Structure formats: structure tokens, C-alpha cells
């Protein structure tokens, strides 16, 4: 599976504003964490995310910086 290399802007439902969204693979690599730890950060609300229609998970850059 190829890691996403682009970003896009979208409305984060938690931040309630338009933010830059980063691909989940890139966020996991930057944080140097495994899938389970990443999912816990999402489930705990530390990282805000959206799931696209195509099934790709994207993370709110603002939550990554704040977290």
C-alpha cells in the first residue's frame, strides 16, 4: 500500500474550522507509533480524524500540534 503524500484542507468537526489534513500513515511515521497506539489517540480524542469515502483516514494537523 502506498502512503499518501498530499494534504488537503477540510473542516475538522472537533476544531470546528477549516484545517490542513494529513494522511494517517504520515502521522504514524512522524509520531513513530504503532497502529494500536495511533488508534488509541484517535479514540481518546487526542487526534481528530476524518474517514474519506474511499476509506482513507486523515488527521487534523491542529490536533497533532496541540496533542
Asked whether residue 3 is domain-assigned, the answer is no
Asked whether residue 24 is domain-assigned, the answer is yes
Asked whether residue 2 is domain-assigned, the answer is no
Asked whether residue 62 is domain-assigned, the answer is yes
d(CA 64, CA 67): 5
Q: What is the pLDDT of residues 8-62, one digit of tens each?
A: 999 999 999 999 999 999 999 999 999 999 999 999 999 999 999 999 999 999 9
Which pLDDT does position 1 carry in this prediction? 45
How much is the pTM? 0.86
Quote the domain boundaries for residue 18.
8-66
Instruction: Please state the domain count of the chain.
Output: 1
Which pLDDT does position 6 carry in this prediction? 87
Amino acid at each position: 500500500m502506498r502512503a499518501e503524500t498530499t494534504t488537503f484542507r477540510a473542516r475538522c468537526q472537533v476544531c470546528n474550522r477549516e484545517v490542513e489534513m494529513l494522511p494517517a500513515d504520515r502521522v504514524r511515521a512522524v509520531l513513530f507509533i504503532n497502529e494500536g497506539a495511533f488508534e488509541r489517540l484517535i479514540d481518546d480524542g487526542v487526534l481528530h480524524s476524518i474517514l474519506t469515502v474511499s476509506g482513507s483516514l486523515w488527521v487534523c494537523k491542529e490536533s497533532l500540534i496541540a496533542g
